[in-house]
């Protein structure tokens, strides 16, 4: 989805995405007494104190849905933004279970689901309108999930979906990045950035990426050609005539980035609409995108992972009950790679 003229929050508010909300719970009459599960729910939008580790009804898969026994759930910045109420207009119903990245095992298929069977190891990015990942069981639409990469544990697989899909949809679908092009990735050490760097390298691009001093070696390990320390270097003096900028930071970083683009270059933001006038002045184009679930693209990413071309970095694995700590770490803005919650044993 391309976002061009209004803020991400407003677009989220008026999104044409499904208006359904939290996973449907089985009604008491249909369900045996054991059909509850442990989950982290919020009963009101607000701070970390709203995250409640508690019993919740186990969801039941409807037509075209798969019930996943969750082993691990990824934590992305959108999780704490949703907790604070940023996605309220998209997912207003309370209580709700947050969490959009899951890895686990197929527990049950709803009617008319093909391509999966109970016991399959899968991973998924669950639509922002529904979420449901911080739980022992979650519902994925069949189009949202794929077989998990064979080489990864569930905790590593859970770090992939949202961040890697964002990087892919930004660089491949939107910017159409080609071999030999020059790309500048802001926030190269973060969830989206560390996948973007690897995807750009796999496509044969020359990669500049920004991060703080403590992440310069990490950027080099990821394959970045010219790491840039944003605390001591001016990236616009180093990255010149670039074909593609991927902005995961926004604000002043976005404003200063327009000067790095060559004529015909492409600026892709995941944090808000770029300045159309500034881009037009340079003969460049720009888009803001909102990541969309795609089981098909997850399968392509799984193939890249199994081929050794893409690797998630998990900076910490915390128990589901420690979700507050995970939100605090994410909101601090300096996670390397991705955070994961361990939900059940493999
Ligand atoms: N539109 C969409 O579809 C979409 C999808 C995914 C994410 N997002 C948004 O995009 C943003 C990034 O997401 P993410 O998952 O990558 O976040 P993240 O993993 O939390 O990003 C953390 C990283 O940002 C780096 N960073 C912080 N300030 C920086 C700066 N001034 N310059 C360069 N790097 C900086 C940090 O590196 P240092 O520690 O070295 O500073 C850290 O590694 C979030 O706001 C998220 O909500 C949007």
Tell me what pLDDT residue 34 has.
Answer: 57
For residue 3, pLDDT over 50 is answered with no
Interstrand relation of 145-147 and 137-141 (parallel, antiparallel or unpaired): unpaired
Whole-angstrom Cα distance, residue 25 to residue 13? 25
257: which residues sit within 8 A by CB, 6+ positions away?
184, 186, 235, 236, 245, 247, 267
216 lines ligand 1 (CB under 6 A): no
Structure tokens at 242: 């670039």
> Tens digits of per-residue pLDDT, 74-89?
999 999 999 999 999 9
- Phi and psi angles of residue 54, each rounded to the nearest 5 degrees, phi first: -160, 180
Tell me what pLDDT residue 198 has.
Answer: 98
For residue 9, pLDDT over 50 is answered with no
- Could you tell me what percent of the chain has a pLDDT over 90? 89
191 lines ligand 1 (CB under 6 A): yes
208, 211, 212, 215: CA torsion to nearest 10 = -90
Query: What pTM value is reported for the model?
Result: 0.93
| Band of pLDDT at residue 155, cut at 50, 70 and 90 | very high
320: which residues sit within 8 A by CB, 6+ positions away?
38, 40, 53, 73, 134, 341, 342, 343
> Tens digits of per-residue pLDDT, 248-286?
999 999 999 999 999 999 999 999 999 999 999 999 999
Tell me what pLDDT residue 344 has.
Answer: 78
When the pLDDT of each residue in the chain is averaged and rounded to a whole number, the result is 91
CA of 74 to the centre of ligand 1 (A): 15
Q: Which of 248, 257, 274, 292 has most ligand 1 atoms within 8 Å of CB, for mutation?
A: 248
For residue 76, give the ligand 1 atom closest to its CA.
Answer: 15
| Band of pLDDT at residue 306, cut at 50, 70 and 90 | very high
Mean pLDDT value across residues 315-327: 97
For residue 31, pLDDT over 80 is answered with no
Which of 196-235 are b and which e, b meaning 16 or more Cβ less than 10 Å from the residue's Cβ? bbbbbbebebbbbbbbeeebbebbeebebbebbebeeeeb
Interstrand relation of 338-342 and 51-57 (parallel, antiparallel or unpaired): unpaired
Output DSSP code: residue 169. Answer: I
Whole-angstrom Cα distance, residue 97 to residue 125? 14
CA 161 to chain centre: 6
Tell me what pLDDT residue 104 has.
Answer: 98
**Contact yes or no for 141/293 (Cβ under 8 A):** yes
90: left (phi over 0), alpha (psi -120 to 50) or beta: alpha
Helix (H, G, I), strand (E, B) or coil at 20: coil
**Cα distances (angstroms) measured from residue 117 to each of 87, 110, 303:** 32, 11, 20
Helix (H, G, I), strand (E, B) or coil at 153: coil
For residue 94, pLDDT over 70 is answered with yes
Of 5-14, 66-75, 82-91, 268-277, which gets the smallest average pLDDT? 5-14
For residue 45, pLDDT over 80 is answered with yes
- Phi and psi angles of residue 61, each rounded to the nearest 5 degrees, phi first: -75, 130
CB neighbourhood size of 296 (10 A): 8
**Contact yes or no for 288/272 (Cβ under 8 A):** yes
Number of residues that this document lists for the chain: 346
> Tens digits of per-residue pLDDT, 178-191?
999 999 999 999 99
Decide which of 21 and 192 is more confident.
192
163: which residues sit within 8 A by CB, 6+ positions away?
74, 76, 101, 190, 191, 192, 194, 195, 338
Helix (H, G, I), strand (E, B) or coil at 12: helix
Q: Is 315 exposed, middle or buried (0-12, 13-18, 19+ CB in 10 A)?
A: middle
Indicate which residue's Cα is closest to atom 15 of ligand 1. Answer: 191
DSSP string, 205-253: -EEEEEE-GGGHHHHHHHT-SEEEETTTS-HHHHS-SEEEEEESS-THH
For residue 65, pLDDT over 60 is answered with yes
Domains detected in the chain: 16-160+312-342 (3.90.180.10), 163-289 (3.40.50.720)
Indicate which residue's Cα is closest to atom 26 of ligand 1. Answer: 187
For residue 331, pLDDT over 70 is answered with yes
Decide which of 18 and 191 is more confident.
191
Indicate which residue's Cα is closest to atom 20 of ligand 1. Answer: 333
For residue 193, give the ligand 1 atom closest to its CA.
Answer: 16
Of 25-39, 72-86, 146-160, 218-232, which gets the smallest average pLDDT? 25-39
């Amino acid at each position: 989805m391309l976002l061009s003229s209004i803020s991400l929050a407003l677009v989220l508010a008026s999104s044409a995405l499904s208006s359904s909300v939290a996973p449907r719970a089985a009604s008491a009459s249909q369900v045996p007494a054991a059909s509850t599960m442990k989950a982290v729910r919020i009963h009101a939008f607000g701070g970390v104190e709203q995250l409640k580790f508690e019993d919740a009804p186990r969801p039941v898969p409807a037509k075209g849905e798969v019930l996943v026994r969750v082993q691990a759930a990824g934590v992305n910045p959108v999780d704490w933004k949703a907790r604070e109420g940023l996605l309220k207009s998209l997912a207003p119903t309370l209580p709700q279970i947050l969490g959009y990245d899951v890895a686990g095992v197929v527990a049950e298929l709803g009617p008319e689901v093909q391509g999966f069977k109970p016991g399959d190891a899968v991973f998924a990015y669950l639509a922002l309108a529904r979420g449901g990942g911080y739980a022992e069981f979650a519902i994925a639409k069949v189009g949202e999930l794929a077989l998990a990469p064979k080489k990864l544990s569930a905790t590593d697989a859970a770090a992939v979906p949202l961040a890697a899909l964002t990087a892919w949809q930004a660089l491949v679908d939107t910017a159409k990045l080609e071999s030999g092009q020059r790309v500048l990735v802001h926030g190269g050490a973060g969830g989206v950035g560390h996948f973007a760097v690897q995807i750009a390298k796999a496509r044969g691009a020359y990669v500049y990426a920004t991060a703080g001093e403590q992440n310069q070696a990490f950027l080099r390990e990821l394959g970045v050609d010219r790491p840039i320390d944003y605390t001591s270097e001016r990236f616009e003096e180093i990255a010149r005539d670039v074909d593609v900028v991927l902005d995961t930071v926004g604000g002043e970083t976005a404003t200063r980035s327009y000067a790095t683009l060559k004529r015909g270059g492409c600026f892709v933001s995941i944090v808000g609409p770029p300045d159309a006038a500034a881009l037009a002045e340079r003969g460049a184009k720009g888009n803001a995108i909102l990541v969309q679930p795609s089981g098909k693209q997850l399968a392509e990413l799984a193939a890249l992972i199994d081929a050794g071309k893409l690797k998630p970095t998990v900076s910490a694995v915390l128990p589901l009950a420690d979700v507050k700590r995970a939100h605090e770490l994410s909101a601090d803005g300096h996670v390397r790679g991705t955070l994961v919650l361990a939900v059940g044993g493999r």
